[in-house]
């Protein structure tokens, strides 16, 4: 058994770039930065930033292109895919891309630079294909001209309380 699953939460390092394949399907690319912080032996704070290349296909890519901007905070779930290429120096190199199949926009209205994401309240979740969960925005609805509305919240249901028992028998077998 093997698993190829990646979960990242980070900020976009550049605006998404979308292009279209001959079939008409969208391909959107952008990079996100994740960082980790720790204290070294001298007690000084250290930070390491990792950059991840993200690729989103179809409606998910179109949604990312429409709502995300440089600096937007985003949750990406997907898989790692490697590709080989020849660098300018002629040396063969390997790049690792994250092929996303789920995206959640994080942060608030003011957290995304005042761009197209302002039209949505809170964060939104989008999944590639039919993987959206209840309570999440549907890709087809999100791709329409009007932004999706937040799912309705049902008030919690309370079970009716049992009627008080005045006469209790002691027929309990223990």
Residue range 14-29: mean pLDDT, rounded: 95
- pTM value is 0.64
Please give the helix or strand (H or E) that residue 141 lies within, else none. Answer: helix 139-142
Q: If you search the block for the tokens 């179809």, which residue do you land on?
A: 58
In a domain, 152, yes or no: no
Q: Is the four-CA dihedral 117, 119, 121, 126 of positive or negative sign?
A: negative
Q: How many domains does the chain have?
A: 1
Judge whether 15 and 31 are in contact, CB under 8 Å: no
Residue-range definition of the domain harbouring residue 92: 6-142
Res. 163: pLDDT tops 90: no
CATH assignment at residue 67: 2.40.50.140
Residue range 67-96: mean pLDDT, rounded: 95
In a domain, 68, yes or no: yes
Q: What is the Cα–Cα distance from 47 to 62, expressed in whole angstroms?
A: 33
In a domain, 167, yes or no: no
Length of the chain equals 174
CB-based contacts of 81: which residues, under 8 Å, 6+ apart? 96, 97, 98, 99
Q: What is the Cα–Cα distance from 42 to 57, expressed in whole angstroms?
A: 46
DSSP state for residue 164 in the 8-state scheme: P
pLDDT digits (tens, 9 = 90+) for 59-76: 999 999 999 999 999 999
In a domain, 148, yes or no: no
Please give the helix or strand (H or E) that residue 64 lies within, else none. Answer: helix 58-67
Judge whether 73 and 106 are in contact, CB under 8 Å: yes
In a domain, 44, yes or no: yes
In a domain, 147, yes or no: no
Based on DSSP, count helices (H) and strands (E) in the chain, helices before strands.
2, 7
pLDDT digits (tens, 9 = 90+) for 123-137: 455 555 544 333 333
């Amino acid at each position: 058994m093997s698993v190829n699953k990646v979960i990242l939460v980070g900020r976009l390092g550049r605006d998404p770039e979308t292009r279209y394949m001959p079939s008409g399907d969208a391909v959107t690319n952008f990079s996100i930065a994740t960082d980790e912080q720790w204290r070294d032996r001298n007690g000084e704070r250290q930070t390491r930033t990792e950059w991840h290349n993200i690729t989103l296909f179809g409606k998910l890519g179109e949604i990312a292109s429409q709502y995300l901007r440089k600096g937007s905070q985003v949750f990406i779930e997907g898989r790692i895919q490697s590709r080989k290429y020849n660098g300018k120096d002629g040396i063969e190199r390997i790049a690792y891309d994250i092929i996303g199949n789920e995206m959640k926009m994080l942060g608030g209205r003011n957290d995304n630079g005042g761009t197209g994401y302002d039209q949505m309240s809170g964060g939104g979740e989008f999944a590639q294909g039919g993987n959206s969960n209840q309570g999440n925005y549907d890709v087809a609805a999100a791709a329409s001209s009007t932004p999706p509305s937040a799912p309705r919240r049902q008030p919690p249901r309370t079970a009716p309380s049992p009627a008080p028992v005045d006469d209790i028998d002691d027929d309990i077998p223990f």
